[in-house]
């Protein structure tokens, strides 16, 4: 290889056009240059690399062994060049979004929409923290995350509403106590939106209750309900979960709806966070939960 310092990407493009068509005239038409230019580019590339890339005859053009190897290597090199220019293109958003998400949102099409966002904005990175809305709110206030996607009471106004969801009681009806006895609750720790709404609803109805199982992990909550520890108040879309049934008892009080929201520390979302919120809103119909297995 005679010259290792000035490999011209245009020479590579000309070679790859010939490699694809095995025809110099067709390659020239594809790139919008003259046939002589294509020939010069390929000759220059062969000179730089110190090898024959094409076997030419009056009837046909064929790739040599080195030419075949250069096809994949050249394509990768041009892809890197394209990615480099795309990354530094003026106006392309870059950086990292520190995203806080409640676990139940991950049971919707939220991950699919993140994939759509990533494809549209490849220069933006996302780090994710999963937790309860209350703990994520504290992280947001302390500037430890940039964007919160979680739950609020439907009567509250902070954040941008994505959709409203019913809360329902889940658990086996046979676990319900006799009239006047205490109801076993499976719930998140203190500060949880669903916990507060469930307890307030029970207190208004005059139903006594006790905490039978608590965890900050949704999977553990659902496992405890399946195991018969008690009943839990959760978003209605969890009715799609195998082994988890809505408790239809008329003796249980109705729980108020909740809103799923997106919120930032600023009154109006800015920059990359605004881009992500707009993507969520643009795909709001897809945010509805998917059947779980």
Task: Tell me: pLDDT of 205 over 70.
Answer: yes
Q: Let me know whether 199 and 267 are in one domain.
A: no
Question: What is the 8-class DSSP label of residue 173?
Answer: G
Q: Let me know whether 45 and 28 are in one domain.
A: yes
Chain segment 18-70, per-residue pLDDT in tens: 999 999 999 999 888 999 999 999 999 999 999 999 998 877 899 999 999 99
Predicted pLDDT at 90: 55
Mean pLDDT of the chain: 88
Question: Does residue 1 fall inside a structural domain?
Answer: no
CATH number at residue 141: 3.40.190.10
Mean pLDDT for the stretch of residues 116-122: 88
d(CA 170, CA 187): 11
Contact 100, 149 (CB under 8 A): yes
CATH number at residue 27: 1.10.10.10
By DSSP bridging, strand 147-153 and strand 258-263 are antiparallel
Question: Does residue 110 fall inside a structural domain?
Answer: yes
Domain boundary (48, 68, 88) is at 88
Task: Tell me: pLDDT of 117 over 60.
Answer: yes
292 — pLDDT class (breaks 50, 70, 90): very low
Q: Where are the alpha helices (DSSP H) in the chain?
A: 9-21, 24-31, 35-49, 65-88, 110-120, 133-141, 193-205, 218-226, 271-282
Chain segment 247-276, per-residue pLDDT in tens: 988 889 999 999 999 999 876 766 888 889
* Total number of domains in the chain: 3
């Amino acid at each position: 290889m005679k010259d290792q310092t000035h490999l011209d990407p245009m020479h590579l493009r000309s070679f790859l056009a010939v490699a694809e068509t095995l025809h110099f005239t067709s390659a020239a038409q594809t790139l919008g240059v003259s046939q002589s230019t294509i020939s010069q580019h390929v000759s220059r590339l062969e000179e730089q690399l110190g090898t024959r890339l094409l076997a030419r005859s009056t009837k046909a053009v064929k790739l040599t062994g080195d030419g075949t190897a250069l096809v994949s290597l050249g394509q990768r090199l041009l892809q890197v060049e394209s990615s480099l220019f795309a990354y530094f293109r003026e106006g392309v958003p870059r950086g990292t979004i520190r995203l806080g998400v409640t676990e139940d949102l991950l049971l919707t099409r939220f991950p699919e929409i993140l994939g759509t966002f990533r494809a549209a904005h490849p220069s933006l990175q996302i780090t994710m923290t999963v937790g309860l809305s209350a703990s994520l709110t504290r992280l947001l206030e302390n500037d430890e995350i940039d964007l919160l996607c979680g739950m609020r009471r439907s009567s509250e106004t902070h954040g941008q509403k994505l959709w409203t969801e019913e809360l329902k009681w889940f658990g086996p009806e046979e676990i319900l106590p006799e009239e006047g006895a205490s109801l076993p609750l499976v719930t998140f720790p203190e500060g949880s939106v669903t916990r507060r709404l469930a307890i307030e609803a029970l207190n208004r109805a005059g139903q006594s209750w006790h905490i039978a199982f608590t965890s900050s992990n949704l999977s553990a909550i659902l496992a405890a309900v399946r195991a018969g520890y008690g009943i839990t108040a959760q978003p209605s879309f969890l009715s799609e979960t195998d082994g988890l049934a809505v408790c239809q008892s008329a003796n249980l009080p109705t729980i108020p709806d909740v809103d799923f929201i997106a919120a930032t520390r600023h009154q109006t979302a800015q920059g990359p966070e605004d881009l992500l919120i707009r993507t969520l809103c643009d795909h709001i119909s897809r945010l509805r939960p998917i059947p779980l297995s």
